[in-house]
Structure 1
Amino acid sequence: MKKIILFAFSAFLALLAGCTADSFAPVAIPNHYSVKPPEPVNERDLTEQLKKLHTPDTSPYKITPGDQFDITVYEHPELTVRQIIVTPDGFVSAPLIGPVKIGGLSLVEATEALKKQISQYIRKPLVSLIPIRINGYNFTIVGRVNVPGCYPISIGNTRLIDAVAMARGLSEGLFHGDTVELADLENAYISRDGRLLPVNFQKALLRGDPLHNIPLKNGDYIYIPSVMNSTVALLGQVGKPTYVGFKEGMTVLQALPYGGGLRETHSDEIKVIRGGLKNPVVYTVNVTKMQEGKIMDFPLQANDIVYVPADGISDWNVIVRKILPSLQGLSMLAGPFGNPSAYWSND
């Protein structure tokens, strides 16, 4: 009888132990993400791309608002106009003919437009359109330079080194009593027409490599970050794209509330871009599964970019075109030096 009772008690304990293991043990949450490593650099292709960037721009200048001209009509001084400024909608106004739209035209085309109007009152007029000040060819440089801003371009003659010189050089600061350069040339970039150019700032500015010292074009945007930055950028389908002060141990779900959380239009899969924009590592993580506790929250690092698309895009060039305007806007809002650390919340 005692053996039967002892056997039954042992069986009960075994059953209890089995239930405990199955029902009350902690559940392991998987750490799941996909990763796109940096693309291998083909030096031959890179050299060819850089050589193409040195090709002279032969397209004629197009008149833009704010440009200033003198208009003269030979043997008719009464029709001469000095220092006339092109209006925001592209017009200039001259005696006898009134307003004429020349915005968006080349100098030759604009001269012909004026000549056509004046010829209604004067036979075969000789008209000259003389540029006094040109505003339409500019580049923007922000970040760790001493005087960031928008500067004019001399076509074919303004190169990357000239741009930094016009901005009074790279900014410096004090660290433990020593003067140190604050510019992060490794992650600096030039964007043109929504794409990044394969320019190495260290080679151009520090080693004097003429191949990377490219001529600038109208609308080029140069950003030189700070080596002291310790932020995370939140972009895309968030309430408010912004920079967040990085803290050790920060994760995706901890960072998103600083940007106002996710919009209803967000994709389940988000991108974490690490290592700058030129040739980064791109992680794809499912934010919905993280919120539901089905996979682990993704750990961030300083200077990561968290991009929340509205769809499941994967092509890197498409991602760059979508995030560059936001990054440039945040850099312009970040203070006189385009330093994101002046713009984030670190509560």
Structure 2
Amino acid sequence: MPSPTHHANADSRHLGFPHRHRIRHWVSRCPHLALFILLFALTACAPKPIEVADDSSFARNSFSTEIPFADPEMIRLHEANLTHEYIIGSGDLLTVDIWNRPKLSGEHVVGPYGNITLPMLGEFKIGGMNRKKAAKLITGLYKEFYEEPIATVKIIKYMNNRVYVLGRVANPGVIHFSGQATLLEALSLAGGLPTRDKTIFLSKCYIVRGKDQIIWIDLLKLLQRANLKLNISLANNDIIYIPESMDAAVFVMGEVENPGSYQIQTTGLSMLDAINLAGGPTEDAQTGKVRLIREMPEQEGVKTIDMDHMLATGNLTQNFLLLDNDIIYIPKKGVATFNYYLRQIDPFLRTFISATIINESLKD
């Protein structure tokens, strides 16, 4: 006849509590699980998330308003001060030709400080000028030695007209232009988006111009909607930075077919959009109690949303547009959700998610 100890051990195995030596074995083999259990113990006493009122920061504010994208009118203002003549600078290869004076003519590479060396004149600072202005000044200097000299300046290789394309492109680095450059040309020459992950797209970029200008461009409108009014002309030494599209993401967890992280497009991603991207609710989903969890100024806030009522009535006022790092959690029907959550979520995905969802689960 089995002993009471045997029954206790059988019960403990049934409930999922292994022997002490098995616990030590799990800790040694699964340090991430051990850390998650520790996080659960620490978050058990964490404050419950705030149930947010309808007139709160969960209002339907588009994600796109979080970034001050330049509209066509603003882009025209940024382009108004651009020069449309090439400015000579360091690295340019050019010729200075003095008519009928072959000994004075020749090729020059503009030095790092914008200087070239001219016969009889010595060092001449040509950097910062266009061709016409440089030719006029050189002509004036040679008038001291020759009667009616005529100087012309030709650029053979353009090296000063450059922009820097950095971030999420195939070939980040310096791009040189022979004339007026645009954002689309720069992105094309930088190789566009690397193809190792087809789920990542170009969604936004910013241009740093000088010391006091940052210009945000909505690449979805420019590239996917062909709004060429956003194809801004570039200035010399502009820095174009394309951040990772995954920098803005939401998490769809719980009873959905494909729980995980999903990107926010700058045109806005709603709660229903995100659930659809995650494959939709499972048969066991408690869709009458969908939780939308958002980081608030001091702790998390949560909205409990009756998705069944929303779809049945067509009232989409609670189909909130999502913000970066929002979490959508769909609990399971009729059972505590923590065990499901423990099996599904990576404990290193977001540390604060555990406290929020555990607290929400304990209320069920």
> What TM-score do you get using the length of structure 2 for normalisation?
0.47
> What TM-score do you get using the length of structure 1 for normalisation?
0.49
